[in-house]
Structure 1
Amino acid sequence: MHKSLVAAIDQGTTGTRCAVFNSSGKMIGWAYKKHKQIYPKEKFVEHDPIEILNNARFVLRQAVRNAKAGPKDIASIGITNQRETAVAWNRRTGKPFYNAIVWQDTRTDKYISKISGGELAEYIRSKTGLKISTYFSAPKIRWLIDNNVKFKEALKSGEAMVGNIDSWLIWNLTGGESFRTDYTNASRTMLMDLEKRRWDKDLLNFFGISEGSLPEIVSSLSKEGFGKLKEKGFQNTVINSDLGDQQAALFGERCFSEGDTKITYGTGSFILQNVGKKVSKGTSKLISTCAYGNVDGTCNYALEGSTRIAGNIFGWLINKMKMFKSIKEIESYFDSDYESSVYFVPAFGGLLAPYWDASARGLIIGLSDNSSKKDIVKSAYEAVCMQVSDIFDLLKPAKNEIKVDGGVSRNDHIMQMQADLLGRKLLRSEMQEATAFGSAISAGFSAGIWSFEEIKKFYSRGKIFYPKQNGKDINRRKVYWKKAVERALNWLN
C-alpha cells in the first residue's frame, strides 16, 4: 500500500471532511467534523479559523486511520474549500486577526450599494467576471481594514497575510513555507484579472489591499504542488491540487468538455458550466469564473449561477421554526400529487443569481386557512428547484444531460421535481462525495498517479431522472414563483 493512496481535505461551510481513495479511485476511508457557526449580529456569519485548522488536521489523520493505512501510504493530497470566505492572520505569529468572514455574510451590503454604480461595476465585471456583491472576498477584506486596527497596521508593516480558507490551510499545513492559492479561489476574490490570472493592481489600490499580503496565484493542478506537508508522519507529502469546492465538484463529475454542466445541492445550490479555454461574457446576471487550472498552466473557464439557500432551508424549518424534528419527518409530509398554492422564497440573507439583491428577504406566501405542513414542505422542495430553474433559464446548456450531486441530490422527490422544471435528464452519480473525489483525482492526476483517460473512466452513474410533468402546469408554477420573488426583492430598501 506504500505511497499508493490519495487524500482530499474538503473544508466546507458546515464542517471539514477528508476522504482517502485507492489506486482504483475507490473511497476506502472517510472522516468528518463539524465546526461552530458564529452569528455575532444580523448579517454577520463567521467561522473560527483555528477550529477549522484543527479539524482539518484531525480528519486527515482519522480518514487515513479509517482506511487502515498510515501517513506514509499517502502519495498526494488535494485541498478543496468553501469559496469567498476570507481570513486574515499575522505572518510572524500565525494568529488570525479576526474570525473568518463567511461567503454567506452580508455585513458589507451598504458598502456594496455605495460602490455598485457606474464605471467601477463595469470595470470589475470586465476584469474579474464577477458582479459587485457581498458574496466575494474583497469587500470582506475591506471591512477588516476599516474595523480591525491590528490588521490595518499589519498591512502597513508587511506582517499581514490574507486569503481564502485554502491559503490559510496550505500555509499552516506546510509549516508556513507555502503561501499560495489557485486560479479558482483567486477568481472568487473580486481582485483577480480573469484572463491574465494575476492580481489586478487597480482593484488592489481601490480596496486598499497590498499585493504582498495576498497569496501567490498558481494553477489549480500542479506537479510541483502547493508545498509539502510538515505534519508529523506526513512530512514531504505534496499538496498537488487546490480547487474551490464547486470547481472540485465540476472536476469530480468529469465535466471536462465544453458545455458540460453540473448542479451541486449543498448549503446552497451551485450551477457551473464548462465553457472551455476562453472567458465567456455570457449574461450580466451570471458570473464568469475559473473552472480549473490545468497542469500546463492553462485554464478552463466556467459560467456560474449560485443560490444562498438549498439544504439549509430544511435546517431552518427544524432548528429555527421548530416545525419539524428531523429531515425524516419533513420527508413524511411530502406528497408529489398534492396541489399547493403556497410559495416559499428563502431569501434569508438576500438573493444571489440571477437577482443579486442583498436587500431581499424571505417570505412564505399564498397561505389560506386550509394550508398545512404539507404546503410548507412542498413549497420548500419547490423553492430549491425554482431557484436553480431561474439560473438554468439563462445558462441554457446545449446538452440534455445534467450531472447532479450534493446532499440534497440524494432526495429523489426533489430531483424529480428539478428534472420536471428543467425539462432535462438529470444524472446522479453513485459517488456521494463528488467534491472530495474531484479534489482527489485532480491531485492524483497532477502527481502522475492516474492518466487523464483513467480518471475519465472513474465515473459511476447512479439514478437517472427524466422529466415527466406537464409543461403547462410547470409554466403556471413558474409565473407564480416569479410573482413571489418580486414581493421579496428590495425588501430592506
Structure 2
Amino acid sequence: MTQRDAVLAIDQGTTSSRTLVVDEAGEVVASAQLEHRQIFPQPGWVEHDTDEIWSNVQAVIRDAIAAAPGHRIRAVGVTNQRETTVVWDAATGRPVANAIVWQDTRSADLVERLAADGGHDRFRDITGLPLASYFSATKVRWLFDTDPTLQERAERGELRIGTIDSWLIDRLTGGTEHVTDVTNASRTLLMDLRTLTWSAELCEVFDIPLATLPRILPSSSRFGEVTTIPALDGVPITGVLGDQQAAAFGQTAFEPGESKNTYGTGNFLLLNTGTELRQSQHGLVSTVAYQLDGEAPVYALEGSIAVSGSLVQWLRDGLGIIENAADIEALAATVPDSADVVVVPAFQGLLAPHWRADARGTIIGITRYTTKAHIARACLEAVAMQTVDVAMAMVEDSGRELRELRVDGGMSANNLLMDIQADLLGCAVVRPTCVETTALGAAFAAGLSIGLWPDLASLRALWREDRRWTPTMDADERSDVHLRWTDAVGRSFGWARPVRGLAVAAAH
C-alpha cells in the first residue's frame, strides 16, 4: 500500500493532551485525546502531575497513529500550555515536584517584593511582560525558596528547568535534548525579546542558573529526534510553538494586523505586529508570534483572559446547572437576553487588560425573575465581553481597526456565543473548518521545516472558512451593554486583599 506523508502534532493543553495526524492537504486524518487531573492543593494553587501527562501523551500518540493507517509520519510538532513550569533531574528525568500551572498564583508575595523595587513594569522593556505570578520565572523562584536544596542542585548543574514543551522533548528524545522555542521562552520573564536569548540580568534577579535553562531555537527548526516512542523512532521534532502562538499559526495569521481569538480554558487574543516589537500601553503583553529558521522573529500583542471555558466547567461541576459543557448553548438560548444579569468570572483575579489580583468573581443584577438560563446566557456574554475589553486595548495599542476576528478552540463551536461575540465586538467573527488550530499550527510549523509545505503561502491556501457571523446590534445598544459590563468589572475589584501578584502598573 502506498503511504501518504503526514505530520503528527502533540497538543499538550491545560486540561488534556491531544494528538492529530495531519496530511499534506492539511486535513486531520486521525486524532486522540485524554484529560488529566487538575490538582488544587490550596486556594490559588494549580498543579499537574507530569508523569500523568507523559503517560497520556504516549497513549494519544499510539492511538492517533493506529487510527491513521497508510500514513507515514515525517515530522513531529509540539504545542503546549505556556508558562506552566517543570523542574526535573537532569540525569534521571524525574521532576522534583508537580508542574506549577500558568493559572497558579502562589508566587504573588514574591511578585510584590520584587515590584517594590521598580514597580510591576520594571522588566517590561526587556521581556514585553509585566511582573506577575502568571509567568514562569516567579514559579521557579518559589520552588527554590521553598526548598533551598533545589537551588544548590541547580547551581551544581543537576537540574533542568523548562516549560511543558521542553519537558516533553526531553522525554521524547530520551533526555538528549534540552531545548525550547522562542514563543515559549518569551513567556518565562527571562528572555530578552530583542536578542531572543536568556537575559543574564533577569537570571541574576531571579537567581536562576543559566545552565539549567534550555537552548532557544526558532519555532520551525530541528529540535531533536524521537527515541522513546517505537512508532516514531528517528522521526524529527521540527516545530514547537506555545499554544496561543500555534493557534495563530494554524489560523495563518502571518501578516501584520491579522488576529485570532482562542476560546479554551481561557481566552487568548493575538494580533500580529510583524517584525516590529510593539510595547503595550493598555494592559496587553508583547510576545513572539513565531520565528522561522534563519529568519527574523515575528512579534505580536496579546491579551490573556484567565477564565472562559473554565467558567462553563464551573457551571457544570461547581453549580450543577448543566450536565455537559455543550448544554450551555441550548439553555442560554431559551431566553432572549440575560435580564440585566452580569457575571464577572474573576475566579483568581483578572488578567488583561485589567491585571487585578484583588478581583473576585461576581454575579450582579439577580432578581426573583432570574433563572439558571439567564445566568447561563450571562456567562456566555462574560466570555464575549472579556474579549471586547482586550480587543479595544489592542486597537488602542496598534492603531488598527479590527475588521474581522478569526476564532478557534472548543467554545468556538458554540454558535450562540459566536453570535453574541459578533454583536458585542461590532465586527465579523469567522470560524474555520478546523477549530483545533492549536495542534494544526504545530503541524504546520513542523511540516514547513521539512518541506512538506514549501512556504507560508501554501499554508494559507489550506485555510478554509466554515461560518461567519456579522453584528446586528446597533452601536448605542452595544455601548450601553459595555458600560454595564465595565461597571460590574469595577465592582469586582478589591474583594481579595491585599492586592497581590497580578496588579501591574499597566492597570493604573
What TM-score, normalized to structure 2? 0.94
- Any conservation in 1 of the 2:4–2:23 contact (CA below 8 Å)? no
2:261 aligns with one of 252, 260, 263: 263
What aligned pairs does 1:106-185 form with structure 2 within 5 A after superposition? Answer: 106-117=105-116, 119=118, 121-185=120-184
Q: Which amino acid aligns with 1:23?
A: E
2:414 paired with 1:411: yes
Partner of 1:371: helix, strand, or coil? Answer: coil
2:239 paired with 1:241: yes
Deviation at 1:328, TM superposition (A): 4.4
User: Residues 291-330 of structure 1: CA distance to partner in whole angstroms, max 9, x if unpaired?
Assistant: 0011214200000001000111111011011222223443
Query: Who is 2:305 aligned against?
Result: 307
Query: Who is 1:104 aligned against?
Result: 103
Query: Who is 2:424 aligned against?
Result: 421
Q: Which amino acid aligns with 2:478?
A: I
Deviation at 1:399, TM superposition (A): 4.6
Percent sequence identity over aligned pairs: 40
2:491 aligns with one of 467, 473, 487: 487
Q: Which amino acid aligns with 2:64?
A: A
Query: Who is 2:18 aligned against?
Result: 17
Deviation at 1:398, TM superposition (A): 3.0
368-377 or 344-353, which deviates more: 368-377
Partner of 1:146: helix, strand, or coil? Answer: helix
Partner of 1:375: helix, strand, or coil? Answer: helix
Partner of 1:478: helix, strand, or coil? Answer: helix
Q: Which amino acid aligns with 1:66?
A: A
- Any conservation in 1 of the 2:17–2:34 contact (CA below 8 Å)? yes
Q: Which amino acid aligns with 1:277?
A: T
Query: Who is 2:226 aligned against?
Result: 229
228-237 or 244-253, which deviates more: 228-237
Q: Which amino acid aligns with 2:201?
A: D
2:321 paired with 1:320: no
Partner of 1:250: helix, strand, or coil? Answer: helix
Query: Who is 2:8 aligned against?
Result: 7
Please give the alpha-carbon distance, in whole angstroms, between the structure 2 residues aligned to 1:159 and 1:149.
Answer: 14
Query: Who is 1:470 aligned against?
Result: 474
Give the unaligned 5+ runs of structure 1: none
Query: Who is 1:340 aligned against?
Result: 339
Q: Which amino acid aligns with 1:354?
A: P
Please give the alpha-carbon distance, in whole angstroms, between the structure 2 residues aligned to 1:331 and 1:339.
Answer: 13
Please give the alpha-carbon distance, in whole angstroms, between the structure 1 residues aligned to 2:114 and 2:496.
Answer: 18
User: Moved runs in structure 1, 4+ residues, more than 3 A?
Assistant: 120-123
Please give the alpha-carbon distance, in whole angstroms, between the structure 2 residues aligned to 1:243 and 1:339.
Answer: 38
Partner of 1:463: helix, strand, or coil? Answer: strand
Q: What is the aligned residue count? A: 489
Please give the alpha-carbon distance, in whole angstroms, between the structure 2 residues aligned to 1:238 and 1:253.
Answer: 24
- Any conservation in 2 of the 1:227–1:239 contact (CA below 8 Å)? yes
Q: Which amino acid aligns with 1:422?
A: L
Query: Who is 1:186 aligned against?
Result: 185
Please give the alpha-carbon distance, in whole angstroms, between the structure 2 residues aligned to 1:328 and 1:159.
Answer: 46
2:459 paired with 1:455: yes
Deviation at 1:120, TM superposition (A): 5.5
What TM-score, normalized to structure 1? 0.97
Q: Which amino acid aligns with 2:350?
A: L
Please give the alpha-carbon distance, in whole angstroms, between the structure 2 residues aligned to 1:227 and 1:413.
Answer: 43
Partner of 1:426: helix, strand, or coil? Answer: strand
Partner of 2:232: helix, strand, or coil? Answer: coil
Please give the alpha-carbon distance, in whole angstroms, between the structure 1 residues aligned to 2:356 and 2:125.
Answer: 20
Partner of 1:92: helix, strand, or coil? Answer: coil
- Any conservation in 1 of the 2:20–2:439 contact (CA below 8 Å)? yes
Distance 1:289 1:444, change over 3 A: same
- Any conservation in 1 of the 2:282–2:393 contact (CA below 8 Å)? no
Please give the alpha-carbon distance, in whole angstroms, between the structure 2 residues aligned to 1:440 and 1:333.
Answer: 36
What aligned pairs does 1:250-289 form with structure 2 within 5 A after superposition? Answer: 250-289=248-287
Deviation at 1:358, TM superposition (A): 1.6
Give the unaligned 5+ runs of structure 2: 498-508
Query: Who is 1:215 aligned against?
Result: 214
415-424 or 81-90, which deviates more: 415-424
Query: Who is 2:404 aligned against?
Result: 401
Please give the alpha-carbon distance, in whole angstroms, between the structure 2 residues aligned to 1:275 and 1:310.
Answer: 25
User: Residues 186-230 of structure 1: CA distance to partner in whole angstroms, max 9, x if unpaired?
Assistant: 0000000001000011110111100000000111111xx100110
User: Residues 56-92 of structure 1: CA distance to partner in whole angstroms, max 9, x if unpaired?
Assistant: 111111101111247xx21011000000000000011
Partner of 2:225: helix, strand, or coil? Answer: coil
